[in-house]
A and B are shown apart, each in its own frame.
Chain A
């Protein structure tokens, strides 16, 4: 992963720069169109289309998923397992692919007519699995569903800035935004932007049974909680793809059950490999591990508006008092990376190496800051998950212990899922052990963490800084990447000083396959199963 990060950095940057150029030149739509299509064509080169002559065709891939899908309705699916299935059956205008590249799918290209108007040029000649042609009406009808908050689709939160979706002609769709939004295109590629048939949406068919898309695989059957099957779409618009005859999905929610399924050969591919098993899988030539050591992060949310945590020196003391390397060595089986400073990961544009070592472990400084804050021996509560939980539970035990060593008196309070969610959402905590994945490859993810109304943390932990708000808003409205980076640098420096959220570490996440599963790559939150388009079995 790390060895390809430069390449990714470059191509993402190029994409944004080119669209930025289009905006700046802002005269004729034809010119914009040309450069925008150029972007799309450029991205396409790195993606499917070229058939691998060595690839063996056929076979069914068995995929063990780490959570249970609850539905296969395209516009109600909101967890990764549902997206793994639905993402193979339905197409999107754009989608993410290998190397976290954004590639055209049902849209061949797009153009930014002005900063609040985007026009997508649709691929012609694409057919739904029932033989019906794909047109702009399907896009319009699908986005009416995606943009309905009652459906609870995760991508909705990135598309609230869309004012209207308008059909220009059969193969052109216009998206009108309320205000310029630099993340719009990046959001359009996320899982959840599925295109279903307009006439089925209008007829109100049962999308649990009538599962018809344009994707590389056709839906066969599904029993919720048991099994789902898809088979090769011979009419897929990319000739010769996919290589697989089909994919079978099975929920294997228990970590040991899932890894054992891989070890026993009952599964060819498993999602979410537990940290404790990554080493063993990596060392064994029978399996292959694909992971991103900076796929997400673990952090401590702090309620900053009331004593005692409203004291900045106390928060900084805590940050200096965490021995992040020891957390990784003892709690995460050595997986992941310490996060001493900026939260933008090294693989994403906007990464700033200069601030990557701000909070190196310094117990003396921590104690000194505690003294300044008058907080020695202070009793604090850290809400987390039970200690047997690998993701938050165990790391929080180590962190609490470390904080007690610098002279605090931290009590761990493990909680069940639902009360934990409630506490996290309404901010009823002093400190709360938390973490998530980078769900969009754009530094704008900072907005949800740090902007005053930030739905992920700031709204709950009451962090509010007018300057941070202003920088984040400005960065979101600009298309020039260098200008945006300068603003995100300012944001990162300010939050490093304020420490409203204490970053503990970058979190590794990945998938494992049997060694004869070829062409697999880990895409994570950007589209769990997208890469199955070119996966083949060497057996």
Chain B
């Protein structure tokens, strides 16, 4: 197990460097000049030249790439071209806010998705099952910019129970923080819940017809024990994998959710960075997101090994 994780981590480092290099190249291949975007409409050539110099854009490309890689090796992601703040600080500030949203979204998705999936598998072809299939289909096919906006219109604009958008730190006002968290995490979680429910349902249906389940029943185990001990544990394996994969999806979906709810997270930082061609910020965000995605998938693999020892034994040998 240990050497397996080590090998995966080494591969991950090369993957991150590869992704970073790709982004470095792509950003500079796109036409556009950060100095122009920064200065806005009226700047003259003298001012553009001065700002380009100040941003270090007048250095050769290879020198820019080299110094960025060297910096990254020391844990320094450079400074934002726009705000001149260290990118690592910007990312640290925002990544925690995004992580909070993602963790709560995934938790909600699991808490809603798994019971519904199990329930509807056990009541296959009954009204409950049909209802859940239709419901999850609707939830899956509603993009978050629709569901999020509808939630805002209902709960914030119409009933005025919750604030429409924004962010307040835990430390400043914990109650307001939770209020602000509700709508975005539901929007994020509802989508995930539908996916999880559908996978749980088919996974449970697969397992429920296995021989060992029949054996368990034949031993005279109580039905609830059969479900909990034998069915659920064995059908959870594909679900952890799905959650791992969905986490990548969630990071992408965050751009929309953070925008609708004015949640100042990592996706917003990345999005603003792209629009202003803030090279170091975009590069830093991609490195971090890439690293997170690889780590989540590594964690899922490790978790699968714990749930089902066959996985890690097979991989480790």
Contacts and interface: CB of A to CB of B under 8 A. Distances in A.
A160 B48 CA distance: 14
B39 A254 contact: no
B126 interface: no
Contacts of A416: 30, 32, 275
B220 interface: no
A157 B31 contact: no
A261 B160 CA distance: 11
Interface in A53-99: 68, 70-71, 76, 78-79
A456 B157 contact: no
Contacts of B30: 416, 418-419
A421 B37 contact: yes
Given A149-B51, A254-B260, A419-B31, A157 B44 contact: yes
B165 A266 contact: yes
B232 interface: no
Given A78-B38, A152-B39, A418-B37, A260 B53 contact: no
For this complex, into which size category does the number of interface residues on chain B fall?
Answer: 35 or more
Interface of A: 68, 70-71, 76, 78-79, 148-150, 152, 154, 156-157, 160, 223-227, 250-254, 256-257, 260-261, 263-266, 416-419, 421-423, 425, 436, 439, 448, 455-456
Contact of A418 (B31, B94, B157): B31
Interface in B150-200: 152-153, 156-157, 160, 163-169
B262 A250 contact: yes
B156 to A, nearest CB: 4
Contact of A227 (B54, B157, B167): B167
Interface string B257-293: 0011110100011001001110000000000000000
A272 to B, nearest CB: 14
Nearest to A68: B272
Given A252-B262, A256-B260, A425-B33, A261 B164 contact: yes
Nearest to B85: A224
12 contacts: A154-B42, A160-B46, A224-B90, A252-B166, A257-B262, A261-B166, A264-B152, A264-B163, A265-B160, A266-B163, A417-B37, A422-B31
Interface in B27-77: 30-34, 36-47, 49-51, 53-54
A253 B262 contact: yes
Given A157-B47, A225-B264, A257 B259 contact: yes
A441 to B, nearest CB: 15
Contacts of A70: 80, 82-83
B149 interface: yes
B32 A421 contact: yes
Contacts of A156: 43, 47
